[in-house]
Structure 1
Amino acid sequence: MLRKISLAQVGLVLGGLITVVGFVAYFADYATLNLAGFFYGIPLLLGGLALKAAEIKPIPFSEPTTPEVLSKREQQATPTQNQVRSDVTRYRYGQSAHLIDAIERLKLGGNDEEHPQLQALREGVVDGSYALILEFYSPFVPLSVWEEKQSKIAQFFGPNLRVQVTQPETDCVDLIMIADTES
């Protein structure tokens, strides 16, 4: 639940509220409340603004996860799949995009404008195994490049994973991370 709360919003609301109390206390001649409002409220407000400027919103699920898939996730999901799902479905700060470090290390796109952008994710079952499907908007990196790097992507995301790359529509690529239950 806390993953779904924006720290920037918390900082802005609390900082704004405490700052307003400080201003009211200043005009009402309450020195102690005035100092508390200025010394705590303004830094919180500025911190909230700074976080808001560096905030990346959580990636949504493109379709709800079925009970069958949840059962497969509990039985078969690898730590990497769980970590990726957890990371992209919460607020992030100080990065330009979700999974940007992985995208840069895999050399998918030349610069920030050309990097694929994670748009959504979904969970499913592929060949009887749990699969985490990352849906990228990738107008500058063609499917052929993704396919060339498929083994490198599987190696990057770690053991007990198979990776498939598909193109459901133009400029979109699905990266399917399948739990390898045969290993």
Structure 2
Amino acid sequence: MLTLVGFVAYAADNATLNLVGFFYGIPILLGGLALKASELKPVPLSQPTPPPVLKLREEQATTTQNQIRKDVMRYRYGQKAHLDSSLESLGISPTDEERPVLTSLRETEVEGAYTLVLEFNSPLISFERWQEKRDKIERFFGPGIRVDLTKPEGDRVDVALTATPQESS
């Protein structure tokens, strides 16, 4: 808007508005374009979450599960992919080209426990490699979570993060 005012003021020979438009409007416009270029869209749910699972989430979800769900379901700026630093730390993303892509997620119940399932497209990282990293993934996402890996079809890998009851000390 300020940039547009600057151009109109330039055409109308109004130096004050012209300066405001150019000195403030153009940097703001460029900043906005840079943010738009680095925008990472939210990951969609692959299926709606049923009300009983929402109740389980409120009762059982760990801080980590909630943080992952909130992080990937909102716009992000300046990141190359959702969970890119986590995948890199786990050794599942050796290069940007090989990095698995989080395509969707779903919330479900497994044996009465809240489960957050991350659905990855992983054409360049084998399922065997994922299985080798299962224990590391479980430790990475912290206490109170069990990790199960499945390969439903093609290049897809599902990482199920299931809440487990904390043992009392």
TM-score range, shorter chain: over 0.9
Identical-residue share of aligned pairs (%)? 59
Q: CA deviation at 1:117?
A: 0.7
Report if the CA contact (8 A) 1:109-1:140 is conserved. no
Q: Where does the alignment leave 5 or more consecutive residues of structure 2 unmatched?
A: none
Q: CA deviation at 1:182?
A: 4.8
Q: CA deviation at 1:181?
A: 2.0
* Equivalent residue runs for 1:112-151 within 5 Å: 112-151=96-135
Show the counterpart of 2:66: 82
Give the stretch that moved more between structures: 29-38 or 116-125. 29-38
Question: 1:109-146: per-residue Cα shift (whole Å, max 9, x none)?
Answer: 43111111110011111110111110000111121111
User: How much is the aligned-residue C-alpha RMSD, in angstroms?
Assistant: 1.2
Superposition TM-score, scaled by structure 2 size: 0.94
Superposition TM-score, scaled by structure 1 size: 0.87
Inter-partner Cα distance in structure 2 for 1:32 and 1:76: 60
Q: Secondary structure at the match of 1:144?
A: helix
Q: CA deviation at 1:32?
A: 2.8
* Equivalent residue runs for 1:1-183 within 5 Å: 17-183=1-167
Question: 1:53-108: per-residue Cα shift (whole Å, max 9, x none)?
Answer: 22211111111111111111111111100110111111112221110111111111
* Count of residues paired in the alignment: 167
Inter-partner Cα distance in structure 1 for 2:147 and 2:139: 9
Inter-partner Cα distance in structure 2 for 1:182 and 1:127: 16
Q: What amino acid does structure 1 have at the position aligned with 2:80?
A: S
| Runs of 4+ residues over 4 Å off in structure 1 | none
